Amino acid sequence: MSDVIVVGGGAAGWAAALAAVQGGASVVLFEKLAESGGSSALSGGCLALAGTDLQAAQGVADGPDLLFKDLCEVGQHVNDAALVRTYCDAQLTTYDWLKEAGVGFSPVIETASGQSVPRVHTVDPADLVRALKAMAEQGGRVVYRSNAAVKNLLSAPDGRVTGVQLESGQELLANKSVIIASGGFAKNPEMLNQYAPQYAEAVFVAGAGSQGDGLCMATSIGADLRDMNYVKGTFGKHPTDETNDHSLQAVYKGAIAVNQDGQRFVDESISYKLLGDAVMAQPWHTGYQIMDQGIFDTGDDRVRILDFGRRLEEGLFYVGDTLEELATQIEIDADTLVATIARYNGYVEAGNDPDFGREHLVHQHGVLRKIETPPFYAYPSTAVVFGTYCGLRIDPHAHVLRADGSRIDGLFAAGEVTGGFHGAAYMTGSALGKAVVFGKIAGEAAAAS
């Protein structure tokens, strides 16, 4: 019998396993699939961290309090402030801890959603999971079992969680606690239909194991849920591209978004999750990001969401020497598109967008650019659901809670399976950040339980 059982081997699960062994516990980690990694390993590798040495080296003044303010604003103040505070206070220590585990970070990138200063720290996401796993397994105190889906939680008569039952029927008990780190439900059509019917026509990209197993297991023994009506997709996904490639955010460099009628429909500088909601409400759930050569030239091939050149090489852009030519290609009335762009350029010149109130390129950064230098580019864009960012209600120590606020003893949860932290929307880097920060907290707490 091990001290701690971890369900799921993504970033949250391996962070929890590492922290638990460092806390003196023995651990068994069950992974449903043949390979661990989950959505974490597929991700863009962006983490929202504040006050790091990398930011200081780039002259960025940031810290836990500003991060807290931004996270609450992006979450529209419906997020659980205690969880947000815990994240903000723990993220710098977690950053150092990840570096000690061998995770390498690249310089901070500027373009992100929901951040008032640049704070996206990027890692190779598969390496992040590998490093945590290797470190956790080093002392021989972790048993890793792949192709081993957990099906049920076992409880004592007093409600305390005592272990798990695998799909094979095998039962395993834990001396101390069980940690659920089984990710979200972006690969479970029934749950998506229940909680996010507005995204029925979106593209879904996530780890194959993201089927909501942990969420269902915990609710079946009384766990409460948070944020279930805030599932959001990310704007900027090419509608026919179902690879795990990230979205494209040309809007954050100055492009505008138009719908199939050639009309703008949103302030393009807001969170790409809110842009996701906006595009899903348009005809055919699709729009186009429109830009000119001047904006195209500001693309950045080091940043996936800004890599215009690669998408052009892959034939995903429409290109026209005139706006009329571009409009014909994307089957939008040419006069309407020309008028929309002329109107927008006028707003840029006047410094006032009475239609949607756009003032910046992204969030509160950047000066708007006119769309005037040929050739002109159009990138077809719908929303993609990468994750569900809602789920089990936890307290700041990652204990799973019931609706009355009481703890389910012996049960912790971390990562995408949990709700409450993001609230109504999501800041770039906060989901992978949440996975490692709360994974570590859950592992420490479970080892001490």
Ligand X SMILES: Cc1cc2nc3c(=O)[nH]c(=O)nc-3n(C[C@H](O)[C@H](O)[C@H](O)COP(=O)(O)OP(=O)(O)OC[C@H]3O[C@@H](n4cnc5c(N)ncnc54)[C@H](O)[C@@H]3O)c2cc1C
What residues line the site for ligand X (CB under 6 A)? 7-13, 30-33, 36-40, 42-46, 149-150, 181-183, 205-207, 209-210, 213-214, 244, 246, 386-387, 415-416, 429-433, 435
User: Shortest Cβ distance from residue 72 to ligand X (Å)?
Assistant: 17
- CB-nearer residue toward ligand X: 48 or 251: 48
The answer to whether residues 328 and 383 touch, using CB atoms and an 8 Å cutoff, is no
- Which tokens hold the place of 430? 């906060």
Question: Could you tell me the smallest distance in angstroms from the CB atom of residue 374 to ligand X?
Answer: 33
Does residue 118 have a cis peptide bond before it, meaning omega lies within 30 degrees of 0?
Answer: no
Shortest Cβ 120–ligand X spacing (Å): 8
Instruction: Give Dmax (Cα) for the chain.
Output: 72
Q: Which residues are registered as beta bridge partners of 166? A: 150
Ranges assigned E (strand) in 293-401? 318-320, 376-385, 391-393, 399-401
C-alpha 260/C-alpha 333 separation (Å) is 9
By beta-carbon proximity to ligand X, the closer residue of 97 and 318 is 97
Contact call for residues 149 and 213 (beta carbons, < 8 A): yes
CA–CA dist 430, 86 (Å, integer): 13
Residue appearing with tokens 């138009």: 258
Q: Are 427 and 115 contacting, i.e. CB atoms less than 8 angstroms apart?
A: yes
Q: Name 203's bridge partners.
A: 384
Q: Evaluate the CA torsion angle 371, 373, 378, 383 in order and state its sign.
A: negative
- Compute the least distance from the CB of residue 134 to ligand X, in Å: 16
Nearer to ligand X, 131 or 337 (CB): 131
**Separation CA 118–CA 113 (nearest Å):** 10
Measured from the CB atom, the residue of 270 and 432 that comes closer to ligand X is: 432
Task: Select 152 or 263, whichever has its Cβ closest to ligand X.
Answer: 152
Q: How far is the CB of 162 from ligand X (least distance, A)?
A: 17
CB 79 within 8 A of CB 420: yes
The minimum distance between CB 414 and ligand X, in angstroms, equals: 7
CB of 172 to ligand X, least distance (A): 12
CB of 391 to ligand X, least distance (A): 9
Query: 357: which DSSP letter?
Result: -
Q: CB of residue 323 vs ligand X: minimum separation in angstroms?
A: 33
Nearer to ligand X (CB atom), residue 174 or residue 206 = 206
Task: Report residue 227 as tokens.
Answer: 């944020």
Question: Would you say 8 or 420 has its CB closer to ligand X?
Answer: 8
Inter-residue contact 1 to 172 (CB < 8 Å): yes
Q: Which is nearer to ligand X, 181 or 362 (CB)?
A: 181
Residue 441: how many CA atoms within 13 Å on its side-chain side? 25
- Residue number, 22 or 40, with CB nearest to ligand X: 40
User: Residue 57, class by beta-carbon neighbours within 10 Å (0-12 exposed, 13-18 middle, 19+ buried)?
Assistant: exposed
